[in-house]
Structure 1
């Protein structure tokens, strides 16, 4: 990848373009995680703080299956990754379904802090479970699809685009379009929007609220598993503490874009990714998180509903 030393003259535009590509890639991963946050909050008004650790768990599942297929069974990298991502989606969705049944469903009608405390407890459980079973150290996979396309050459620096980055951005775009269609055009989407408006009235009209909420958790977990698999593909390593920071940043992305809006979640993810990479390049990388949260604070001062969110309407 790009190696840039501060103080060197020339290549400023190449550096900017490379970091723009890197930021869009990172932001796409944040956006996929953020969709899970925004879907759950949009329906039941709950912030599922265990969602980041579900993302981390899915990356470990993909890693174990990928290593099993490639190193023990001799399967090729491309089919092994596809199988590993599919298995990770299925197992993570099943795990999140169990979390919703055990930790959240019975607390749905209680005071608002109870589900929040339960979510924090589930986050702690998942992080410690992975630490105990897999250890606290980094787990890695061999490099995959590390070929690059050189976009510009002959200058101070070469701007490159890897096949992994193309895959990450393309998958994010396809999944955003697919789930926007699900929410807007399918019976499940109508049930989700009805529960978002008024869950009690939706139940009186025949909507199975428990089933709708459970399917929302399943879909959110499947998207987090895609993000976890792509994160593993892009960076090649994962550890048990990788759920907290990406989870918080993805939640920040959901709030920045307008929590409850699927396009807003991805837009927020892209902005957070771009802020991180560009700030880390041109300023100090130690303060990139401060920059991201500062942009969130300023945005919410002037746009309390986020960039694409809808203002809350009080029900009377």
Structure 2
């Protein structure tokens, strides 16, 4: 029983990181109908931003408090990643917005390759590690067989940050002027522009918001695993996109729910079946769900505009 609950905790933690990345996919797709396949590599770049900032703050500036350093690192990573994604939207996506539908997709894949190869050349092909951080573990239950269930401070931080950011971004989308502009652009960009909404600015801010969430996920990923590699953008990015589709593309709670489901499927399959096929299991579940629920778990059926 303790082993099952331990894997449940691990799955929730991994799924929370996937969920934060997935929100960026679902926001961009919901507004402009484009899958931003460079988003996974934006997440990877944000982890490298966090790594460099953490080493500078703790080594060069001598900040001893890991908690304070992580907060500063997260803010720096969010700012730099938001600027990067804003530039990507201006250069690679906006000029192709009115072209045929495959053009932005090809551009997104191209940006993904550019970011991955740039980081490989700039940082090298080896894993980049950080000093251990937030390694406190708290025993919460001991079974009859003597096995003790632990929860780590890292996991608590990831859960809290994910819950707070989900609530904050849901409020922004549902209750603010920016959120109303985003929902208007989602329904009809031309009509939103005729009604005085700055469509270009709204889309740019959506990319910035998605990048900020990816930066938080990148910082949490670095804190949790303590290592980052230039190829870490592809697989988490694809799984986060899978999570967005599984939960219901266009739904913020659905993105996080899909991420948690993907994380749980991965860890339980690796624990009780085979770690070699955990990715196969995750994508197989996606296929099964989409056969019976094409809109995803929390998504709305698409209405054809005429």
Task: Provide the TM-score with structure 1 as the length reference.
Answer: 0.95
Q: Write the distance in 2 (CA, Å) between the matches of 1:315 and 1:304.
A: 18
Q: Give matches, 1:1-316, under 5 Å.
A: 13-76=1-64, 77-153=66-142, 155-316=145-306
Secondary structure at 2:151 match in 1? strand
The gaps in structure 1 that reach 5 residues or longer are: 1-12
Q: Which ranges of 4 or more aligned residues in structure 1 deviate by more than 2 Å? A: 153-156
Q: Write the distance in 1 (CA, Å) between the matches of 2:242 and 2:157.
A: 24
Q: Write the distance in 1 (CA, Å) between the matches of 2:61 and 2:86.
A: 30
Q: CA RMSD in A?
A: 0.6
The gaps in structure 2 that reach 5 residues or longer are: none
Secondary structure at 1:152 match in 2? strand
Task: Provide the TM-score with structure 2 as the length reference.
Answer: 0.99
Note the C-alpha offset of 1:163. 0.5
Note the C-alpha offset of 1:73. 1.5
Q: How many equivalent residue pairs? A: 304
Note the C-alpha offset of 1:78. 1.4
Q: Write the distance in 2 (CA, Å) between the matches of 1:84 and 1:244.
A: 23
Q: Write the distance in 2 (CA, Å) between the matches of 1:282 and 1:152.
A: 21
Q: Alpha-carbon deviations, 1:190-247, whole Å to 9, x = none?
A: 0000000000010011110000000000000000000000000000000000000000
Q: Write the distance in 1 (CA, Å) between the matches of 2:119 and 2:146.
A: 44
Note the C-alpha offset of 1:153. 2.2
